[in-house]
Structure 1
């Protein structure tokens, strides 16, 4: 069995001319009879962009949160105010307090906004599904839950901590991805891929008995990756040979150019708000 899908980019760092951009990510996915919102962006552009794209947020069947950073969960309260019935799927650690500590920058709280936390905490167990385990929306749509970190050269992609003082590292265990079984093969949808690209893709392949990966869409969090990590990622993707990769948000513009130059057998594109991607 397989299904076709259509993905609409609602929020991203870049946008089509008539849409708004932000530091955030949100996809609306139509697949297998379901309407899924994958992340909500930072909350700045979700509603105006959805209106311009004629995406009716009241029709959503599911809201999937890839992890608990503000740029992926900032619109949660807006969604739940507009849609009283959608199922919300997240990892139990999605509500964790989180901070980034970059050199020569002020410490920044980067966890889920307070309003979004409150909106989630008001949901009952029928509507809110928090689990670290693999779960399924349908026979063709799966969510990884916790992704095992077997490739140790892949890190979370930044100086992330659970406390303002920087005493406790945040390994972002709530990072999860979604996959769709399409006629061309598995299509993987990523938020920021803090678990690592190889870790995530290999785990999804393991869950699908080594099925072919047709495409990857989302943030790869390679903006500040080491040369070793970039080299190993490119080597892996060359062997994987997906038909397409659409990267954006936290990937890094220079990294997308590098992937395009090195992956000659893969169509590499950069997504932006307003773009529609899907199977024919």
Structure 2
């Protein structure tokens, strides 16, 4: 399978001038075109246009989790580009998400509702399986095992249920992997359940080696011990290429650059072909 992955947007500029606190990939092969996450605005569309990437071909959209910086561009995509697609969402995607800074709660969820998608004729498929094959060799994962002793969800994220704020367990988070002759190519949104937990779950469930990983590792607020432990685990898995971006954090990126062979920083406009 020939695979092409275009980073339509992330936090830093690269080939494209437009960047924002968000993430969006366009994944293409001879058999499918998939949009993975949509950033926090329609800027990913401008980048696609500037690179002559035809995102109108996307008949499937995968949203990694319900935070605004991965979801809010979907409305622009529907209203400006294409409303003929199926969207894949994790269970509990529509729970209202917030962050807490010690003083107040701030809304961090998406800018659309289930009713909005229904009104626009968008087909919704909820992902609640451990592994769901949506095309031959294309898999979505949820319900990640959480066995890593050094990974925990940041205690700043909450959901509102029955009028109360409770810690977000990110049960809505999903990841995507595409099989290739060299192994799995994994796309991650923010890795809130822990990047090691997620990668180990994927490897265990598929019994396949992971060739490459791209996306956010959410190590932005992590201490040195967690960053080191994460890198050692990733190195032990034999992953050949790891392209981190978005919420990975400068400290983690700096450490990975020095200590992981095959690490690269992924920026807006990067194109990877496998």
Return the TM-score normalized by structure 1: 0.90
Alignment deviations for residues 186-237 of structure 1 (CA, whole Å, 9 cap, x no partner): 111100011111111111111212x211111000001111333222212111
Q: CA deviation at 1:117?
A: 4.9
- Counterpart of 1:255 in structure 2 is 252
- Rate the CA distance shift 1:116–1:25 in 2: closer, same or farther, 3 A: farther
Q: CA deviation at 1:140?
A: 0.9
Alignment deviations for residues 36-55 of structure 1 (CA, whole Å, 9 cap, x no partner): 00000001412211211212
Equivalent position SS for 1:250: helix
- Counterpart of 2:206 in structure 1 is 208
CA distance in 2, matches of 1:167, 1:23: 25
Alignment deviations for residues 147-169 of structure 1 (CA, whole Å, 9 cap, x no partner): 22222431223510113997411
Bigger mean CA deviation after superposition, 231-240 or 161-170: 161-170
Quick check: 1:22 aligned with 2:17? no
Q: CA deviation at 1:116?
A: 5.7
Equivalent position SS for 1:150: coil
Quick check: 1:177 aligned with 2:175? yes
CA distance in 1, matches of 2:155, 2:6: 28
CA distance in 2, matches of 1:148, 1:277: 29
Equivalent position SS for 2:215: strand
Bigger mean CA deviation after superposition, 9-18 or 197-206: 9-18
CA distance in 1, matches of 2:140, 2:16: 32
Alignment deviations for residues 60-102 of structure 1 (CA, whole Å, 9 cap, x no partner): 1210000000000001112223322211111121111011012
CA distance in 2, matches of 1:235, 1:18: 32
Alignment deviations for residues 119-172 of structure 1 (CA, whole Å, 9 cap, x no partner): 324366x82101211211222110002222222431223510113997411111
Of the candidates 224, 229, 235, which is equivalent to residue 227 of structure 1? 224
- Rate the CA distance shift 1:192–1:218 in 2: closer, same or farther, 3 A: same
- Counterpart of 1:92 in structure 2 is 91
Return the TM-score normalized by structure 2: 0.92
Equivalent position SS for 1:98: strand
- Counterpart of 1:267 in structure 2 is 262
Equivalent position SS for 1:95: coil
CA distance in 1, matches of 2:206, 2:269: 31
Q: Verify the 8 A CA contact 1:160 1:170 in the aligned structure 2.
A: yes
Alignment deviations for residues 252-272 of structure 1 (CA, whole Å, 9 cap, x no partner): 122111011112xx2111111
Provide the aligned C-alpha RMSD in A: 2.0
- Counterpart of 2:271 in structure 1 is 276
Higher strand share: 2
Q: Moved runs in structure 1, 4+ residues, more than 6 A?
A: none
Quick check: 1:122 aligned with 2:119? yes
CA distance in 1, matches of 2:29, 2:135: 9
Gaps of 5+ in 1: none
Equivalent position SS for 1:223: coil
